[in-house]
Structure 1
Amino acid sequence: MPHHPDVTDRAVRALIEAINANDREAFAEALTPDATMSDDGSERDLFPWAEKEIFASNGRMDVVSASEEGRSLIADYRNDAWGAMRTRWDFTIVNGKVSRIDTGHA
């Protein structure tokens, strides 16, 4: 299931689709040029993190619950490096694009 019905924010939907399609170009397109992120409370460099945790390891996100139009998610996330885990994702949206991702174990 690529989307949860409560994920109505277009930028978040585009980001989830890009992750699940392993599409680096669509992922970058859904983000602001200066997008930032944290993982379990530690600041990370977004694109190297995404390469390792999403693209090189076949990451997939299955949304379990969503609030704030999908800007706050609980998802089952799986990749070849870590297997499956329950994760939380919080997105900040600026001008229709994701400007910040805060993720970590749920």
Structure 2
Amino acid sequence: MMENPFAIIEKRIDRIESILLNIQERLDKTDSTQSTGDFLTVDEAAAYLNISKSAIYEKTSSRSIPHLKKGKRLYFVKQELADWVKTSRQRTIAEIEAEPASIMVVSKSRRAS
């Protein structure tokens, strides 16, 4: 004899519901780890920037790198480190060569007025 189709549907809905709850729990866990995962220790910051720990300590003591200090511990925000690296960007030769031309255009337009 065939099983009741409503019982089959109910079993499938229960299974889908448990899968969805499992997915939601995993998402909640990743959200909480990502919010705390933005902070790096000295070792992690050194690995992220590919420099030595002593270079990290030197840069923090000279206050040339953004950092947080809580008690005796140093922390770094990953995004702040990325922004700090980007500010040290060197201009290309083409950018440097284009700069005098733009300055000359501006100065010529000022003289014409």
The TM-score range, normalised by the shorter chain, is under 0.3
Task: Kindly indicate which of the two structures has a greater share of residues assigned to helix.
Answer: 2
Task: Kindly indicate which of the two structures has a greater share of residues assigned to strand.
Answer: 1
The TM-score, its normalising length taken from structure 1, stands at 0.22
Q: Which structure is higher in RCO with an 8 Å CA cutoff and minimum separation 6?
A: 1
In our comparison, the structure showing a higher alpha carbon Rg is: 2
